[in-house]
Amino acid sequence: MLDAVAKCGPGFVAPSPKTEWLDRVKSDISLQLKDTEKEWVTTGCTIIAEAWTDNKSRALINFSVSSPSRIFFHKSVDASSYFKNSKCLADLFDSVIQDIGQEHIVQIIMDNSFCYTGISNHLLQNYATIFVSPCASQCLNIILEEFSKVDWVNQCISQAQVISKFVYNNSPVLDLLRKLTGGQDIIRSGVTRSVSNFLSLQSMMKQKARLKHMFNCPEYTTNTNKPQSISCVNILEDNDFWRAVEESVAISEPILKVLREVSTGKPAVGSIYELMSKAKESIRTYYIMDENKHKVFSDIVDTNWCDHLHSPLHAAAAFLNPSIQYNPEIKFLTSLKEDFFKVLEKLLPTSDLRRDITNQIFTFTRAKGMFGCNLAMEARDSVSPGLWWEQFGDSAPVLQRVAIRILSQVCSGYNLERQWSTFQQMHWERRNKIDREILNKLAYVNQNLKLGRMITLETDPIALEDIDMMSEWVEEAENPSPAQWLDRFGTALDGGDLNTRQFGGAIFSANDHNIFGL
């Protein structure tokens, strides 16, 4: 960067946010948005509403718009007073819907902070064709959080943190560890506290041999007699500890895998059912010889899936996904089909729109017409469901339009590490009108540029690049780091009080042990 500035010569003046440069970048982003809006006519889009609190306890809501090509940040609103006034909150959502265009919106994804505001009922009553869905990544985080509260898992995490705190608060020890591991760390920071816990256990298990070797190598002798060092050695030599680490990693990895898939910003609504089914099966297989432990973790998954994550839109997407529909090993439950028909009635509200839809469903499920051609069959598992319908769905034109709109949606907010300072400055009461306008532009440009870059980068969507040095894996912190964005609501995420919208009937009953009846 310095070389580039030097090449500009002594007369170079760095661009300021208050110059035309900011307006030019904002204009470029707006043009990109205009191009993306053209695809909304076919694919529809999803509005994502994420609420969070800043360090002044203000309730802020970020609105984003997602479609297959990319996600755009729309705006951030200080809604501190809105949560106390349902009319104001309803007006806010109405204005966002008008900004985007009601005809383009397939669903609105909201996190659990909106549970008791009544906004879901307002949207469902006033917008007949729009679905309200829970945030899948938040629900999956709750599952991981409840996993970590199981006594032996919690003890395992606490013991592992004793080791990590000692290592990361002693520079010579940390340098020695990184020398032995080739620069790799024994902990990883995730987008939430629970994700960090299980990612760190994974990292520690991978470095088990080097970690144990470090505490016994000659270069470590100066730290041998420290009380913390003795505690670490005792833990590292405890076989029960390592068995607990291995077990914790084994039961959390299937959920982390689902979380990764739904957090990429790409359409995943058509695969969430299959992903959850495989996750449940992985946990069942791991505990094939221990039904009691299996029940503990499967009950956590089932409860959160049925009560919080299940949506009729997910059911319809599973039914329309060719890789699921034509899989001979999958048997659809009756309740899933019922939800699919409910979705059709919502998206095709009149008999004229539903004309011939029964025949078209038959054509699809029996793989007749273009659905049964060799190219279509070969692409069932290799092409995204939305694109598959676009290419091979002409034999069922009405169902094709519905399928593309459903299968083109995400089922989670994008795990973007926010520029918290930008948003907090933007909502600072004392700023004058000019400053506020500039900060609005900065937030819009900043977030959209970052979103544009992250879509093209192949990074782990649930892990942060750098270790959070304020996390409980490094040092006890009185206040949670703002980067842990799904943990921002404290006790609101604890216990059984989390109730997102209750959608119809559950797809599988309490006695069903997997989603599709595998």
Assign 3-state DSSP to the chain and report helix, strand, coil percentages, each to 5.
60, 5, 35
Distance CA 139, CA 309 (A): 6
Which one, of 105, 106, 75, 108, lies nearest residue 90 by Cα?
108
Tokens linked to 358: 């029964």
Q: What angle do CA 261, 262, 267 make, to 5 degrees?
A: 100
SS (H, E, C) 480-518: CCCCCHHHCCHHHHCCCCCCCCCCCCCCCCCCCCCCCCC
The arithmetic mean of pLDDT across residues 245-263, rounded, is 97
Split at pLDDT 50, 70, 90, the class of 375 is: very high
Q: 44-48, 186-190, 261-265: lowest mean pLDDT where?
A: 261-265
Q: Is the pLDDT of residue 378 over 80?
A: yes
Q: Higher pLDDT residue, 456 or 341?
A: 341
- Summarised one tens digit per residue, pLDDT across range 70-101 is 899 999 888 888 887 889 999 999 999 999 99
Split at pLDDT 50, 70, 90, the class of 11 is: low
> Token match 């002693």: residue?
170
What pLDDT is stored for residue 499 in this prediction? 31
Dihedral of CA 380/384/386/388: which sign? negative
Q: 148-162, 193-207, 271-285, 303-317: lowest mean pLDDT where?
A: 303-317
> Residue 115: in which H helix or E strand, if any?
none
Which one, of 319, 345, 263, lies nearest residue 507 by Cα?
319
- Contacts of 414 by beta carbon, 8 Å cutoff, 6+ apart: 48, 64, 66, 71, 263, 265, 451, 454, 461
Q: What three-state secondary structure class fits 328?
A: coil
Tokens linked to 152: 């032996």
Neighbours of 452 (CB within 10 A): 14
For 77, phi then psi, to 5°, come to -130, 135
Question: Using an 8 Å Cβ cutoff, are 75 and 444 in contact?
Answer: yes
Q: What is the DSSP letter of 186?
A: S
Q: What is the DSSP letter of 192?
A: S
Q: In what order do the strands lie in the sheet with 59-66?
A: 71-78, 59-66, 45-53, 105-110, 131-134
What pLDDT is stored for residue 104 in this prediction? 97
Q: Is the pLDDT of residue 517 over 80?
A: no
What pLDDT is stored for residue 303 in this prediction? 93
Split at pLDDT 50, 70, 90, the class of 481 is: very low
**Domain residue limits, the chain:** 141-309, 312-407
Q: Is the pLDDT of residue 429 over 70?
A: no
Q: What is the DSSP letter of 116?
A: T
Q: Is the pLDDT of residue 15 over 90?
A: no
Distance CA 365, CA 346 (A): 21
